[in-house]
Amino acid sequence: MPRPTSKINLGVIVAMAAIAWSCLGAFEVKELPPPRKTGPLSLEEALSRRRSLRSYRKEPLKLQELSQLLWAAQGITDPRGFRTAPSAGALYPLEVYVAVGEVKGLKPGLYRYHPSGHLLEEMAEGDKRRLLAEAALGQPWVREAPVVFCIAAVYQRTTKKYGRRGIRYVQMEAGHAAQNLCLQAVALGLGGVTVGAFDDQQVKEILGLPSDHHPLYLIPVGRP
Ligand SMILES: Cc1cc2nc3c(=O)[nH]c(=O)nc-3n(C[C@H](O)[C@H](O)[C@H](O)COP(=O)(O)O)c2cc1C
């Protein structure tokens, strides 16, 4: 069992460093609106309504909705650093990126979610959705959704403890995070689809991911 307290301290340090760096104008870090912890839809209703949604109204998402979706995928829910989704050994090998096309108050670009501090870090400017859709074998919903999440795996965080078995743990975790995100979308009156068919290398290049961040899922989300 790792010591989540030391991890949270490290997370806070990383978040503070990111804010300090952004103050120097190197890149932008945005504090997201706090996520709500209650909602009008029961889990049973969200489960029974969830369906892969591949066509979206041409309407931007609100920043509050984006905040809630990111929190559902990987948000911190415990002072010890534990999150909305379970993680083998609490090693948290997933990174959530979001390609923003149309979100009120956020310019189009690629952003990375920092669970510590519930922050969004701008990684690159410009709308990545068209290129992502091409990398996803031309699937139009990747181009047309106002936002496309990317769940990426940093396998080493888990395999250094669990060896080869860690690979399956990380992939299971991506499923947990994706399902949380999909159910949260339903609870917000939104919808999404989990996309696994894409060229890994192309997605990595389009998003400019570090070499040890491996995309597992693309999840376009929008309004039905
Ligand atoms: C691992 C995985 C990969 C998937 N990849 C794609 C995909 O590339 N494109 C797509 O449109 N749907 C994809 N789907 C969604 C499935 O097509 C969908 O879940 C299935 O048709 C059942 O429909 P439902 O999600 O509405 O229940 C994927 C689902 C899973 C679990």
Q: What is the mean pLDDT of residues 161-190?
A: 98
Q: What is the mean pLDDT of residues 187-196?
A: 98
For residue 18, the model assigns a pLDDT of: 52
For ligand 1, atom 6: residue with the closest CA: 195
Ligand 1 pocket, mutate which of 52, 216, 218, 221 (most atoms under 8 A from CB): 52
Ligand 1 pocket, mutate which of 173, 195, 219 (most atoms under 8 A from CB): 195
Read off the pTM.
0.91
Closest-lying ligand 1 atom to the alpha carbon of residue 51: 26
For ligand 1, atom 12: residue with the closest CA: 195
**How many Å lie between the centroid of ligand 1 and the Cα of residue 53?**
10
User: Which of the four pLDDT bands, split at 50, 70 and 90, describes residue 17?
Assistant: low
User: Which of the four pLDDT bands, split at 50, 70 and 90, describes residue 28?
Assistant: confident
Q: What is the mean pLDDT of residues 106-121?
A: 98
For ligand 1, atom 30: residue with the closest CA: 194
User: Which of the four pLDDT bands, split at 50, 70 and 90, describes residue 23?
Assistant: very low
For residue 26, the model assigns a pLDDT of: 55
Q: What is the mean pLDDT of residues 153-173?
A: 98
The answer to whether the beta carbons of residues 29 and 19 sit under 8 Å apart is yes
Token pair of 57 as six digits: 């109204």
Positive or negative: CA dihedral 53, 55, 59, 60: positive
Distance CA 64, CA 33 (A): 6
Closest-lying ligand 1 atom to the alpha carbon of residue 137: 8
pLDDT for residue 131 is more than 50: yes
The answer to whether the beta carbons of residues 118 and 32 sit under 8 Å apart is yes
Domains of the chain: 4-222 (3.40.109.10)
- Mean pLDDT, the chain, rounded, equals 92
For residue 197, the model assigns a pLDDT of: 99
User: Which of the four pLDDT bands, split at 50, 70 and 90, describes residue 3?
Assistant: very low
Residue closest to 56 by CA, chosen among 101, 99, 98, 96: 101
Whether 16 is in the pocket of ligand 1, judged by its Cβ within 6 Å, is no
8-state DSSP, 81: S
pLDDT for residue 170 is more than 60: yes
For ligand 1, atom 13: residue with the closest CA: 195
Distance CA 115, CA 214 (A): 19
8-state DSSP, 163: T
